[in-house]
Every structure is written in C-alpha cells, then in structure tokens.
Structure 1
Amino acid sequence: MTRASSPDRRRFLTAGTVALGAAASAMVWLPGTARAAEGTLPDGLFGLGIASGDPLPDGIVLWTRLAPDPLNGGGMPERVVEVEWEIAEDERLRRTVRRGVAPARPEYGHSVHVDVRGLRPDRAYWYRFRAGGQLSDTGRTRTAPHAHARNGFLRVALASCQNWQHGYFTPYADMVEQDPDFVLFVGDYIYESTPSSAGPRRHEGTGEPVTLEQYRNRYAQYRSDPDLLRLHAGAPWVVTFDDHEVDNDWAGEVPQDPDKQSHDAFVARLAAAFQAYYEHMPVRATAIPSGPHIQMYRRLEFGRLVRLNVLDTRQFRSDQATTPAGAESPSMTMLGAEQKAWLLDGMLDSPARWNLVASQIMMAETDILPGEGKLWYYDAWDGYQVERNALLERFADVRNPVVLSGDRHLTMISDLRTDYSDPGSEVVGAEFVGTSISSNGDQDQAAFHAQWDPLMADNPHWKFIDAHRGYHLFDIHRDGIDAQVRVVDTVVRPQAVPSTVARLRVDNGRPGVELA
C-alpha cells in the first residue's frame, strides 16, 4: 500500500480510539426510525469495541457486538436491534461516503457484520456505530490496493497465541505504534482452558467453555483487554483459528480426549465454538457457520504485490499420528484434497510478486532428537510429512513463497527445503513462525537457549530462534521483505518496553531468509 503519514493519521494511532460522545452532533446521520428506539436498551452496548477486517480494493468488513453484560451472555433483549453505521474519509466523520442500518440479531449474539463496498482502493477510512442512543468509539481501517497496482508498500503484523491467564496483551500497544496496514492473526485468539490463579489474570467461568454462551463469555473477557481493543479499532485484521478456539489439538471431528468427549458432544461443541468465533471476528458472511463447519480458508489480494492464502489446518486434517511411521504415512492429510488443490492452483497461477501462506502451525521441520534419528511434534506439519513434502516440491514453481505461522509460542525463522533429510536440498521459500502475544508468559531465556540451541545442528535450516513474547513486523516491497522480530520485556504487567531483537531479509527471486 502507499502509506501516508499525515498528522491526522498519526494522531489517531497514538491517541487510541476516539469517542465522539456528543449525540446531538451525530443526529444528522441517524434515521428517525432508529431514533425512536433510543433509550430502550441497557447502557454499555459497545463495551466489546469495534473492528474491521478482510480488506478488499473496494470494501471492508465492519464489526461490533452489542453486549452490555458481556461476561453473562451479553445482556441484550431477545429481539433484533437496528444498529446504524457510517464510514467516512476523515477522522471527524464529516466526509461520509457510506452509511446504513444493520440488524443485530439475537441468534448471532447481537453481533454486526457490515460488508461495505463502493470504497476507493488503498486509502484510510474512519467508521463508527450507533444504537439505542449510544455511540461507539471511532475506528480506523484501510482498503487494499487496486487489483492491478504494481508498486507500493505493505506493512503486515503477524500475531498469534494470546492466553489471558499467561499475561497482558502488551505487544499490541507497540503494534499500534508501528502502524500496520493490516494484522494477520493465525490462531489461538482465546484459550479454552479452565480458570487458574497461577498467572497474572484468571479466566472467567468455572471450567472449559462447551456451550455457545460459555464461548461468548470467554471471547468477551478477551476483548476487554485495552491493548487488544485499541489495535482492533486502529487497523483491519485478517484472522483464522487454530485449536484453542475449540479444544486443544483437535483434528476434524476428533477431540483431544475422545475417551472423555463423545463424538456427538464434540460436534455440538464445534458448532458452539464456530458460532462464537464468527460472532466476534470481522469476517464476511461466507464464514457464517453451518453447524460444526465453517468456511475459513480464503484468499486476499493486495494489488500485484501480495497474494495472501489463509489456510484452515484443523477442520480437514487427519487425526494426529503417534509414531514416526504414522507421520510418514501417505494417507495423512492436513488440508484435505479440495483445500490443497485450491492452495496450489492459487499459488502457481498467482500474478503477485509475493505469495504468502497463513498457516496456523509450523511447516518447516523441527527435529527435537539430538544426533542420529528424528523426532517430531505430530500436531505440526511434521506429522503430515508426505503432504508437506509434496507441497514444498511444488513451491519450487511458485514465485516468492513465504509461510507465516504461529502456534509454537516462540520465534522460529527458517528456510523451507524440499527434503529435510538432506541439508543440501533445494531451498524453495521462507517461513516465519511468530512468537506468542502472551502464551507461556515471561519465559526464562537462558533455560530456553539451553534446551533449544543444542538442536540447531540437527535443524540447519533454522536461521533465528527466540522465546520472548511479541510479534513479527514485515515491510513488503517489490524487491524484498524486511522483517523485524518485535518483543516486549514483560507480559505479567500491563505496561511493557518494546524492542527489536532481530532483523531479517527475504530478497525477491532468492528463496530463503537471512539475518539482516
């Protein structure tokens, strides 16, 4: 995207969301039908904030959810509520370009998803909502470049794994200051774990969420984090889920512990979890769940600079292997045949300079057995060796493939190779496994390196590893990608000091990644 660092833009990003509370000044954009219903709803409708997502050259999704009693199901009456929205070209919303009324329906938790079209490409917009005489904060978003735009610049922030009980979401405060064009979140937005008093914060409820209301309450708690609220209001997000939005290490319709969760019970849990996910994410109507299924893999274009392929590595996968022989079985699939064909077709036929893949779990090998032999984590792509290796062979024919992953709660940046049993095999791409926002808390760095540094010799494709909390920041140009590993000194307190612990570079036409 072409970036404009205007004083108005910077003031918005550094000051946080702007609450325009003067109802009288807002009345000019409110239809009389909506005004007639004012005063009939509880206070605090917009406590879960606002968000935008999935930018197109001419459109964006605007999101909010009415929830005056967020930790107790939402607290809304069992009726449809009209919510007014507007989007404008200026921060004060004087140059409105689109406005309308959207229904907040009880069957979707009174969430609102507005798929705005007719916008101009590659530019900033400001938006807000109103219902029951209450006005939301003002959010800022941005559209994607024109489909045929060849030049420009894109700044992307990669995030994942935010465990409420392990710490505050302090990396987001720094992310706001870095002003990304969009945030790519690759999974574990919530954790389904039971409440514990061992960390700095405690989960709501009394056990793991299973019902729709319980999942709604867990999402509502996470969305009360002030740094998360501010970032959602400051930039569009592109999201996908991993396992903890449902159940740890689930695969297809198989739970982590099938001896404790029957198939029917887990299918009902999937349906509840997917609906709560849709209700709290700025995604299009294509993601409205159908029972225990949700359409999450999709493709977004950012001119001719970037094609982003967002994967779903949970719904279509085989149950995890338990042995090395199982991991090498040709019957094992992570993506399913349809999604795999979709991914390869989209990458091989891509007109973009950079072909990004958002994969919830790590694609490069992690051999955790020092010396002879190999031992893998079976929940990652290492547990699906034949399919992974076949994909990497095809990556040799793809222009500038780069995989962006999460899950590991550490930074692990690697070359992608066609054969990890041969250190001299062809390098076909790069992978950035982003660290967590808060999961694992403030980790002991000395202990981490004592455990992991001895494994570097068995994993020569690793270029950089680290265990601080934080995120990755990418500046994408036509000639290369400049990456920063941004970290914070703590997540056990609400404020933190950010820094860059590593800079890396991917050059156009040269597969792999190097320390800068």
Structure 2
Amino acid sequence: MNNNFSRGNGETLASLIKRGLAPVDGTLTASKAPVFKGNPFQLGVASGDPLPDGVVLWTRLAPEPLAEDGLGGMPDRKVPVQWEVSEDQNFRYVVQHGVALALPELAHSVHVELEGLEPNRYYYYRFKVGSEVSSTGRTKTAPSAGTPISSLSFAVASCQAWYHGYYTAYQHMTADDLDFVLFSGDYIYEYAINSNNLVRPVKLSSAHNVKIVTLDQYRLRYSLFKTDPDLQAAHAAFPWILTWDDHEVENNYADEDSQYGAFTYQFLQQRADAYQAYYENLPLRSTAIPTGPDMRLYRKFTFGDLAEFNVLDTRQYRDDYTSVIVSGSDVQQRLDPDRTILGEEQEQWLISNLKYSQATWNVLAQQVVMAEIDRDTGEGEAYSMDQWDGFAAERERVFSALKEHNVQNPIVLSADIHRHVAANLKEDFKNPDSATIGTEFVATSIASGKDGAETDSYGPVWLGNEHVKLYNAQRGYLRCHVTPDQWRTDHLVMPYISSPGAPMNSYATFNVENGKPGLQGDSIMNQELERQSLVD
C-alpha cells in the first residue's frame, strides 16, 4: 500500500494544523487499528463531487453509531484506514490505493480526494481498517468539460426526516440508471424526536428527544439518519452532489440570525458545530472544510458540453425577515433592492458563470422556490419571505443576467416545501402572457411530512398562479434525463411511507425542448383540468 496521504487528507491535516490540533511538521503517527466492539463501517460509504478526473470518497468509523456522545464508540486516537479504487467490483484491477487517517477531531471521518481517474466512467471503492472491510461503493466521474455527450440522468432528492417514515424512495432510486444524485437540502432535522413525530416502530434513548444545538448532538443526529440501509445503498450506488437548506442547522435561520431568540454569539457557535458535523458526515471536498461558522459550499459542476450546474447556498448569506408571510402594505419590503439571499460574492460568482457558460443546459441547483407564488387567491397579495419571493430584486437581477447574456436553457431545481411543483419562470409573473425565460422543477421530500397526499389545502393556492403547472403533496423525488434536444423530468411519488415497501409511480412528466423555455407535455393538460376542479 502507498502510505502517502491523499491530497484531501493532506489539506485536512493543514486545516487541523491551522487550528492547533496537529504538530506543525505534519508527522502524525498512525496508531494500530483498535479492537472494535462492532463493525466500524456501520454508517456506510459514499462518494461525491464528481469531476472528470476524480471524486471524493467518504466513510466514518462508528462501531457504536448511536453512542450518545456522538463519537460512534471510537477511542480518542488516530486510526489508519486503507482505501482502494478499482475498475471492477471484484477489485481485480485496482487503479489507486492508499492510507488515510481517521482523526478524532473530525469524528473519525475519512475524505479521500481522488485525482488521475478517467472521465465519464464507473469505478468501485472500499475501505479497510484492521481486519474489517467496508461495503463496496460504486461511483462515476464526470465527462470532460466541452466533450459532446449524448445524455445525462440524475435524481433530485431532499428533506429526509428519518422519524417521519421509511426511506423507501431510495430503494427505487438505487434501481435507477443514474449518473449522480443531487441532494437539495435538509439532510437531517434538528427537532426533538419523540412520540409526537416518530413514525418508525423503534425505541430511542432520551438523547434524541432534544432540539440539537451542539457538536455531539449534531454528530449523533447524522449517525441516526445514516444508519438507514436504503440511504446507505443510495450513497453507495452513485456519487452525490449536496447542498444544504436550514434544518442542517436550525429551522428558517438566516445568516447569523436564529429564529429561536439565541444571541448572535450563541448561534454562531451552534452554526460552527452544525457546519463541522455536516462536513464530517458527507462526501465533500477540502474546499468545504468550515472555518468556525463559515463554510464555502456553493460550487460549479460541468458535464461535457451538455449541462452546467451552479450549486447554490441560499442560507448562509441571506438577510433575515420579521415575518414569514407578508401581505398588504408589508409586501413592499420584499422589493428592497438591498435584500439578498445569495450575498454579493455568490451573486457575482453565479452571474459570471452564467455569462461564460457554453453548456446547452444551465442549471441552478438550490433550495427554496424561485417562482413567484402569490398566496392570496383574492384581490390582495401575500408572499413567503423565506423563498425567493422575499428577495424579489435579487431574483430580477438573476433573470436580467439570463436575458442579457442569452443564457441557454435555464433550469432551476429546488426543494424545501415537501411538494412536487413544476412552474414556468416568467419575465413578469403578474402577466401570464409575458415571456417565459426558464423552467423550475421542485422536488418533494423523501420522508418529511409523513405519508402526504395527492393534494392538500395549499393546492388551490399554488395552482392559482397561472405559471404553476403541477402541485402534488406525496413523497418521492425527481428523475431527470437530459439530451442535447430535450430535458425530461419525471415527478415520482409513493402512496405512503409510514410502512416499508411502497411502490413508486410517475405522477407527471414534463419536457423542455432546447431553445424553447417552458414546460411541454400532456401533463400540462392534466394539471389544467385538476386546477379547474380544485378552484371550483
């Protein structure tokens, strides 16, 4: 085995040196593997952030994943972890291998940043510590930028409240033929878990019945969610591209502002702990290692000449609000040109990417709904300040950039609301006859919201906006298939998640044709009929 650290672990080490957690000369003595009380790989394996020459490999040692101190039953020492990457799942043709250190300062997580792989091909990987070997993961590198590719397939998932039901959606997703999974936020939830919200027939200790705010609590919450076998299988089947929303820290937080009355210094410590646990438990590059309460998560991925994904962070830099829903004269505050959901630096980064993109499809992969949604079905107006409606001027600046730079085929992928929604993005949302400049698909939740239903009381509100063509309140995910000529999105749903084994069905399918922004397909006609029946 090659005993040199991978680039990712070297940079992780540099981060630890900076924080005074390792010797300045970088010489760490790799202890012999401890004797584990159980399988140390109970949280599975994962890969993420696919580039043409490599991906990030992840695992975390946790022989006792639900140990209440959040440390997974691991001793306070460094542990060497062997890793290998192969062209075949039997590991006859190993192309890279090495040793990484699982550090106690990072909850014994391992992040290996691979380089030198071939573009647009599958690889298999696994880890070993002592005599214990992890399950095998499969990953895939991205095509080289600018290379013509005929198709791209991926899923969009979000909002997986483990306690609200089973992750059956991931069983179906794992059976799909996908290049990657895009996760759009709320990987965990911070709420106390108890008989009021726990659907699964399990018993949990009192350590889970608290609103989490500390590093050990966040670590334990990730461990709980990641013990799910269906989630582990989906991580092992595909590389993931992840971003967050609010519940990885706290409901509806905005930058350094808590919605629960914490002092700023208290909340920034909570945010620092939450961000560290996020990095520890997911396949992220060393560029995402947090510095205190700050973590760079927005980034870009290019897949040949076909699609470019701008992965956004709409939580860390946003302005706060005094009320979630505004109406009457208060709606004017959402038009304030100084209000930002991206922050100035991220906004300029996004607009620059859009300006210079050569891709056929240009994607904003993000969290909250971008389309304008007037929640007053009468003569008045009412809007959510938590979505892009609360930052209307910045949305207009993004739309103006799309028009000014003639950005090809804008697609927005969102989540957050636990509903499937498909909408046209309009030049003027108040005028249904104005130009359509893009298309938005909103993914429902994997589990949050329990079983859900085909529609609910919000259906008439959302469908009362002419540019909204689909509303569905069941659980599931999006499956997208992209070619140079067409973007296809399937809104996949299940009838229940309160017990395992639910079937998966396609509730609606929409197409967007290259050069023709807006939703096309028979599903529009079906939804128009549903809209009429709901309004009546």
Task: Work out whether the TM-score is over 0.5.
Answer: yes
Say whether 1:330 aligns with 2:337. yes
Which shifted more, 471-480 or 486-495? 486-495
- Deviation at 1:454? 5.3
Say whether 1:119 aligns with 2:117. yes
Q: Cα deviations across residues 150-206 of structure 1 (Å, max 9, x unaligned)? A: 122110100000111211111111111112110000100000011121331377623
Structure 1: segments with no counterpart, 5+ residues = 1-32
Distance in 2 (alpha carbons) for counterparts of 1:123 and 1:456: 42
The equivalent residue for 1:58 is 53
The equivalent residue for 1:22 is none
Q: Cα deviations across residues 237-256 of structure 1 (Å, max 9, x unaligned)? A: 00001000000000000011
Distance in 1 (alpha carbons) for counterparts of 2:451 and 2:138: 31
- Deviation at 1:327? 1.1
The equivalent residue for 1:280 is 281
- Deviation at 1:455? 4.6
* Residue pair 1:389, 1:419 contacting (<8 A) in 2 also: no
Q: Cα deviations across residues 356-386 of structure 1 (Å, max 9, x unaligned)? A: 1111111001111002121111100001111
Distance in 1 (alpha carbons) for counterparts of 2:133 and 2:236: 14
* Residue pair 2:42, 2:63 contacting (<8 A) in 1 also: yes
Residues 225-374 of structure 1 aligned to structure 2 (within 5 Å) = 225-258=228-261, 261-320=262-321, 322=323, 323-374=330-381
- SS state of the match for residue 467, structure 1? strand
What amino acid does structure 2 have at the position aligned with 1:265?
A: Q
- Deviation at 1:330? 1.3
Say whether 1:68 aligns with 2:63. yes
What amino acid does structure 2 have at the position aligned with 1:249?
A: N
Which shifted more, 339-348 or 193-202? 193-202
What amino acid does structure 2 have at the position aligned with 1:510?
A: K
The equivalent residue for 1:85 is 83
Structure 2: segments with no counterpart, 5+ residues = 1-28, 324-329, 523-536
What amino acid does structure 1 have at the position aligned with 2:291?
A: S
What amino acid does structure 2 have at the position aligned with 1:66?
A: L
- Deviation at 1:120? 0.4
**Identity across aligned pairs (percent)?**
45
Residues 1-150 of structure 1 aligned to structure 2 (within 5 Å) = 37-38=32-33, 40-72=35-67, 73=70, 74-150=72-148
What amino acid does structure 2 have at the position aligned with 1:83?
A: V
- Deviation at 1:329? 1.2
Number of aligned residues:
478
- SS state of the match for residue 94, structure 1? coil
* Residue pair 2:432, 2:466 contacting (<8 A) in 1 also: yes
The equivalent residue for 1:471 is 477
What amino acid does structure 1 have at the position aligned with 2:382?
A: L
Q: Cα deviations across residues 409-467 of structure 1 (Å, max 9, x unaligned)? A: 00111011122122222211000010000111112435x1x54235523x111111111
- Deviation at 1:217? 0.3
Residues 328-477 of structure 1 aligned to structure 2 (within 5 Å) = 328-396=335-403, 397-445=406-454, 448=456, 450-453=457-460, 455-457=462-464, 459-477=465-483
Distance in 2 (alpha carbons) for counterparts of 1:76 and 1:245: 24
- SS state of the match for residue 292, structure 1? coil
Distance in 2 (alpha carbons) for counterparts of 1:42 and 1:275: 26
The equivalent residue for 2:16 is none
Distance in 1 (alpha carbons) for counterparts of 2:166 and 2:265: 36
What amino acid does structure 1 have at the position aligned with 2:132?
A: Q
- Deviation at 1:495? 1.6
| TM-score, L = length of structure 2 | 0.87
| Among 155, 162, 167, the residue aligned to 1:169 | 167
* Residue pair 2:462, 2:471 contacting (<8 A) in 1 also: no
Distance in 2 (alpha carbons) for counterparts of 1:423 and 1:321: 30
Q: Cα deviations across residues 263-282 of structure 1 (Å, max 9, x unaligned)? A: 11111100000000000110
Distance in 2 (alpha carbons) for counterparts of 1:515 and 1:285: 42
Distance in 2 (alpha carbons) for counterparts of 1:433 and 1:170: 19
Alpha carbons of 1:454 and 1:268: their partners in 2 closer, same or farther (altered >3 Å)?
A: closer
* Residue pair 1:149, 1:304 contacting (<8 A) in 2 also: yes
* Residue pair 1:64, 1:111 contacting (<8 A) in 2 also: yes
| Among 220, 225, 249, the residue aligned to 1:222 | 225
Alpha carbons of 1:423 and 1:343: their partners in 2 closer, same or farther (altered >3 Å)?
A: same
The equivalent residue for 1:20 is none
- SS state of the match for residue 376, structure 1? strand
* Residue pair 2:33, 2:80 contacting (<8 A) in 1 also: no
What amino acid does structure 1 have at the position aligned with 2:297?
A: M
What amino acid does structure 1 have at the position aligned with 2:422?
A: I
* Residue pair 1:48, 1:64 contacting (<8 A) in 2 also: yes
| TM-score, L = length of structure 1 | 0.90
- SS state of the match for residue 412, structure 2? strand
Alpha carbons of 1:312 and 1:39: their partners in 2 closer, same or farther (altered >3 Å)?
A: closer
Distance in 2 (alpha carbons) for counterparts of 1:155 and 1:435: 18
What amino acid does structure 1 have at the position aligned with 2:448?
A: S
Distance in 2 (alpha carbons) for counterparts of 1:177 and 1:320: 42
Which shifted more, 494-503 or 194-203? 194-203
Distance in 1 (alpha carbons) for counterparts of 2:357 and 2:374: 32
Q: Cα deviations across residues 28-60 of structure 1 (Å, max 9, x unaligned)? A: xxxxx98x9356344311000000001011101
Distance in 1 (alpha carbons) for counterparts of 2:48 and 2:160: 19
Distance in 1 (alpha carbons) for counterparts of 2:458 and 2:212: 34
Distance in 1 (alpha carbons) for counterparts of 2:368 and 2:259: 16
The equivalent residue for 2:199 is 200
